[in-house]
Amino acid sequence: MTPSLDDLRVDARSGVGPPSVLQNGSVTTLRQTWILARNDLRQELRELELLITSVFFTVVILALYAVSFAEMSKSAQPKAVPGMLWIALAFVGALTLTRVFEREREADTFGALLAAPVNRVAMYGAKFSVTLAVLCVCAAVLVPGLLLVFPSSGVEGWSALEMLATVLLGCAGFAAVGTLFAAGLAHGGGKNVLLSVVLYPLTTPVLMMSLVATQRVLQAHPGAWDILAKIAAVDVILLIVGGALFESVLVGGAARGSGGGDSSTGAGGARAPRTGEVGPDMLGDDVR
Amino acid sequence: MSASIIPCELRSVVKSFGRTAVLRGVSLALDAGQITGLSGINGAGKTTLFRILAGLEDADSGELVFGASGEVGLREGVREQVAFVTHAPQLYPLLSARENLQLFADLRSARGCETMPAREALMTVGLEAVSDQAVRTFSRGMAQRVVLARAIAARPSLLLLDEPFTALDTEGQELVLRVLLEAKERGASVLLSSHDLARLREVSDRVVRLHAGRLESPREPTGHEGAEGVKARLPESSATTRG
């Protein structure tokens, strides 16, 4: 019988032949990611603050589009609607990212997590997942809403599966970059307005690629999967970079070497003085 | 659990914020079964020292050495054995006390770390009756007890308590003392800061004072009760000797 993850944990704790799968840092990271994401979702379900704010904002944007572009010609709709979709998601994304980290900022709970044996990649992964989930809910309102308001935006026979993949991959790329910078600003006490200044230039490539992919999907273009594959590749790179830089962004390099688990060799918290530096021993008194 | 991280040592740690030097070559050894009291005026750098020990702050230079093997730096394996109680609660206000503790217990369990069950830890701090209430409904003192419970549950080898008596009533302060003694009996090392020098002297095996970014032994008593650094007797185990 295949042991459950809980069984594996108990075995490891009791020291009875630690299972090899548990030694794999990625399993621990995934478990911690799930625990942290579940924690965020549990809080969200109690307050619904994040979801209500983001969905309400989405509906308002949709209503504004409907009123502003009601007279748009049928021929213009296939080109305009993808732009409307990704502009709306970019705004909702920035709003979501701000709120996602607000709870941690208000209670300084990131400090408690950073002091605990929690993999930093798991912290990044959890926030990324929650942001992506909220963006997907908003996209689930936006995409049908836009197609309803602008019925000529897609040709007959466009694939819903391709649209789903486009939205998922585009939002993932946006969230991968956004999570990294929103965390840094939230933890460092930075102004939220800075998030937009940093976020939009960095997410523009992903947004542009997603826009082109959406146009192709709606026009049933045969090359849609090509660009989706490229977005997926960019997402993977962004996620790796985001996970790797997350701790540095949060702590400014403190405890470096913990990001990937115990295998790291870097000294953290404090580093030895470089050769030639003024010896700090000259400054202080030892208490031993 | 991996080998003990105690003894732990800070070696010549320097930390500045901009042009302000906060720690100017601080060296401190923390041994097993020892409570070290840390005193100092506001802004002396006590919290910065704690944050460096907990891995929340990067030092400009110096070394952090853990365990007999001399492991340098804070990594997850080291963090498994460190608990940090700050004067700010750092709790999720929408979650109950039990859920707050359970979150950290689950995170530790995911790494295979031994953790005291949340309910048991809350019982230790006298909050079992309100364990399912949201933390946002708690008083400051109750929240501080939850934080203490979180630290107890981790059974740390290194317990860092930055002004843990803040907002606690008499019963809560006695609870902190019990936690300290339990940790000491277990062989953990405790670093404790407080502005209450009398209490610090009472509970600590030795007291060190952070002044102008440097660690020093408190001054000998001169008869002026209450002033920082005054009437600070050197404990039996001198602050200038290890252990």
**A103-154 residue pLDDT tens:** 888 888 988 998 999 999 999 999 999 999 999 999 999 999 999 999 988 8
Say whether B91 and A252 touch across the interface (CB within 8 A). Answer: no
CB B107 within 8 A of CB A112: no
Mean pLDDT over each residue of chain B, to the nearest integer:
84
A39: closest CA of chain B, how far (Å): 7
Q: Give A-chain residues touching B107 at CB under 8 angstroms.
A: 32, 35-36, 113, 116-118
Contact call for B109 and A261, based on CB within 8 A: no
Any domain includes B13: yes
Average pLDDT over residues B77-89: 87
Q: Is residue B226 part of a domain?
A: yes
CB-side exposure of B100: number of CA atoms within 13 Å? Answer: 32
In a domain, B139, yes or no: no
CB contact under 8 A, A286 and B27: yes
**Number of CB pairs, chain A paired with chain B, less than 8 A apart:** 205
pTM to 2 decimal places: 0.80
Chain A nearest-CA distance from B195, in A, is: 20
The Cα A150–Cα A69 span in angstroms is: 9
DSSP A16: S
Rounded to the nearest angstrom, the minimum Cα separation between A106 and chain B is: 9
| 8 A C-beta contact, residue A29 and residue A122 | yes
Domain of residue B55: give its range: 1-81+191-238
Let me know if A17 is exposed, middle or buried by CB neighbors in 10 A (0-12, 13-18, 19+). Answer: exposed
Distance from CA of B95 to the nearest CA of A (A): 7
Cβ-contact B232, B201 below 8 angstroms:
yes
Task: Output the pLDDT for position A106.
Answer: 85
pLDDT given for residue A159 in this prediction = 86
Amino acid letter for position A263: S
8 Å CB contact of A266 and B79: no
Residue B53: its chain A contacts at CB < 8 A?
269
Residues of chain A with Cβ-Cβ distance to B54 below 8 Å are: 114-115
Q: What is the DSSP string of B61-99?
A: EEEEEETTTTEES--HHHHTTEEEE-SS----TTSBHHH
pLDDT at site B4 = 79
Q: Across the interface, do B112 and A13 touch by the CB < 8 Å criterion?
A: yes
| DSSP, res B134 | B
Q: Classify each residue of A135-169 as buried b or exposed e, where b means 16 or more C-beta atoms within 10 Å of its C-beta.
A: bbbbbebbbebbbebbeebbeeebeeebbebbbbb
Q: Among B72, B79, B241, whose Cβ lies nearest the Cβ of A116?
A: B79
Among the partner-chain residues A106, A253, A284, the one whose CB lies closest to the CB of B12 is A284
Contact A287 B99 (CB under 8 A): no
Determine the average pLDDT of the residues in B172-185: 90
Can the peptide bond before residue B7 be classed as cis, meaning omega within 30 degrees of 0?
yes
**What was the pLDDT predicted at A266?**
33
> Tens of pLDDT along B209-233?
999 889 887 554 444 433 343 333 3
- Nearest residue of B to residue A18, measured between CA atoms: B112
List the Cα angle A146/A152/A158 in 5-degree steps.
85
A245 Cβ neighbours under 8 A, 6+ residues apart? A180
User: How far is CA A159 from its chain centroid?
Assistant: 26
Supply the ipTM of this predicted assembly. 0.84
Q: Give B63's contacts in chain A (Cβ within 8 Å).
A: 267, 270-272
Q: What is the pLDDT of residue B105?
A: 95
pLDDT above 90: percentage of residues in chain B = 55
As a whole number, mean pLDDT of residues B183-204 equals 91
Q: Provide the CATH number for the domain around residue B77.
A: 3.40.50.300
The reported pLDDT for the residue numbered A153 is 85
**Considering its fold, how many domains does chain B have in total?**
1
Condensed to tens digits (0 to 9), the pLDDT of residues B133-176 reads: 999 999 999 999 999 999 999 999 999 999 998 888 899 899 88
Q: Which of A269, A274, A283 sits opposite B64 (nearest CB)?
A: A269
- Contact between A50 and A107 (Cβ < 8 Å): no
Q: How far does the CA of residue B223 sit from the closest CA of chain A (Å)?
A: 25
As a whole number of angstroms, the distance between CA B127 and CA B53 comes to 29
Residues 6+ apart with CB under 8 A from A47: B94
Is the residue at B131 inside a domain?
A: no
pLDDT-flagged residues of chain A (< 70): 1-24, 187-194, 251-288
Hunting for tokens 């709120």 — which residue is that?
A: A99
Extents of the domains making up chain A: 24-260
| Residues of chain B with C-beta less than 8 angstroms from the C-beta of A251 | 55-58
Alpha-carbon span A159 to A221, nearest angstrom: 10
CA torsion, ordered B195, B196, B198, B199, to nearest 10 deg: -120
